[in-house]
Amino acid sequence: MKLVDLFTNINPYEKKLYKPYIIAEAGVNHEGSMDIAKRLIDEAKFGGADAIKFQTYKANTIASKNSPAYWDTTKEPTKTQYELFTKHDKFWKNEMEELKKYCDKADIEFLSTPFDLESAKFLNDLMDVFKISSSDITNKPFIEYICQFKKPIILSTGASALNEIFEAVGWIEYYKNPLALLHCVLNYPTKDKNANLGMILDLKARFPDKLIGYSDHTLPKNMRVCEMAVLLGSVIIEKHFTHDKSLQGNDHYHAMDKDDLKQFRYNLDSAFEILGEFEVKSIEDEEPARKNARRSLVSAKSIKKGDIITDDCLTFKRPAHGISPKFIDDIVGKVALKDIKEDEILQWNMFE
């Protein structure tokens, strides 16, 4: 399924869980190397991602020269955002077009988050859905510009107050773009205790007509956090993706790799096998229990032909091969058409 199809194929009001659409957030973990970028695409496909997402920006349009770091500087020692972005802003229109073609060949969906008007414009030719970063949730002119492409939007909500989310949703709803909201904690890495996955339930309650997902920045470990997010109703899971978690850099150390991704897919398959149906009904494998563990009306004593059945004539025992005890009121008062032995399972043809 393509990402754009989620907006028509998933009913947010439906009381069921869906296997999520998984976005491997490569970001700028290619470190400016096209070979590494293509390797990330191949490994994301191998791991079972539905899409791989990059980031498209220029340092001089995203951050001032005095923009301080907000990440763990023991893992990523770069002191300013401008300095960090300068290291990773080499991929632009031509590179994104090449990556799109490679994704098509690898049969994985291409995405990239734009961070300025120019990149949004050329990425529009390459994607069916736009992703807007948490950092731009208050950027009204940028959101409105993207809305004018008339495509579905995925908006991350990291570090946002509820009123800020409602405000951004209002800007998007004005243009009638289909919208998905991703719970996100904008902290690198996010401690498990700060993941606050319960906020997913609040987003579902506050925005019942929107698709809800989760953008994760916790350490991958066993991918348990992302699995829990799915069980809370996330239909999109986005997580940073790398080919080598030991590399220094802000988006490597809390990223998943192909093996984590494969484990996540396995965990989901197991979880959904256990979840099974989302409507109450008896399943086929329960049929022996229905027939043998349930009860029938049974004669509590010998009954002669022509006797009128009274309560003391009846009891209920396994198996359910005869008249169900729920019909006891219909049997009391009937006339026996034959002699019935004590402890005999009662059938309808025994009575008038």
Select from 30, 79, 19, 76 the least CA-distant residue to 55: 30
- Phi and psi for 301 in degrees, rounded to 5? -160, 175
In this structure, the dihedral spanned by the alpha carbons of residues 235, 187, 244 and 76, taken in order and rounded to 10 degrees, is: 160
Estimate to the nearest angstrom the gap between the alpha carbon of 117 and the chain centroid. 30
In this prediction, residue 283 carries a pLDDT of 94
71-124: per-residue pLDDT in tens?
A: 777 777 878 877 777 776 789 999 999 999 999 999 999 999 999 999 999 999
Contact 82, 73 (CB under 8 A): no
Return the bridge partners of 24, or none: 52, 239
154-182: per-residue pLDDT in tens?
A: 999 999 999 999 999 999 999 999 999 99
- Phi and psi for 97 in degrees, rounded to 5? -65, -40
Beta strands 296-299 and 314-317: pairing type? Answer: antiparallel
Q: At the fourth CATH level, which superfamily is domain 17-275?
A: Aldolase class I (3.20.20.70)
In this structure, the dihedral spanned by the alpha carbons of residues 34, 36, 37 and 43, taken in order and rounded to 10 degrees, is: 150
- Phi and psi for 340 in degrees, rounded to 5? -125, 125
* Residue 95 Rama label (left phi>0; alpha psi -120 to 50; beta): alpha
User: For 225-321, where are the E strands, in sequence order?
Assistant: 236-240, 296-299, 314-317
Cα separation, 183 vs 53, in Å, equals 17
Select from 123, 122, 142 the least CA-distant residue to 133: 142
DSSP track, 107-160: T-EEEEEE-SHHHHHHHTTT-SSEEE-GGGTT-HHHHHHHHTT---EEEE-TT-
- Assign domain 284-350 to a CATH class: alpha beta
In this prediction, residue 113 carries a pLDDT of 97
Residue type at 296 in one-letter notation: S
Select from 233, 260, 215, 257 the least CA-distant residue to 19: 233
Contact 27, 135 (CB under 8 A): no
Structure tokens at 163: 């009123």
Contact 97, 116 (CB under 8 A): no
In this prediction, residue 78 carries a pLDDT of 77
Length of the chain: 352
Helix (H, G, I), strand (E, B) or coil at 276: coil
* Residue 23 Rama label (left phi>0; alpha psi -120 to 50; beta): beta
In this prediction, residue 59 carries a pLDDT of 76
Q: Is the dihedral of CA 236, 237, 238, 244 positive or negative?
A: negative
Return the domain boundaries, the chain. 17-275, 284-350
Cα separation, 14 vs 10, in Å, equals 8
Contact 235, 211 (CB under 8 A): yes
Residue whose pair of structure tokens reads 């291409």 in the numeric block: 110
Segments of the chain scoring below 70 in pLDDT: 88, 250
Write down the pTM of the prediction. Answer: 0.90
Q: How far is CA 121 from CA 142, 152, 302, in A?
A: 11, 15, 88
In this prediction, residue 89 carries a pLDDT of 73
What is the Cβ-side half-sphere exposure of residue 212, based on CA atoms within 13 angstroms? 25
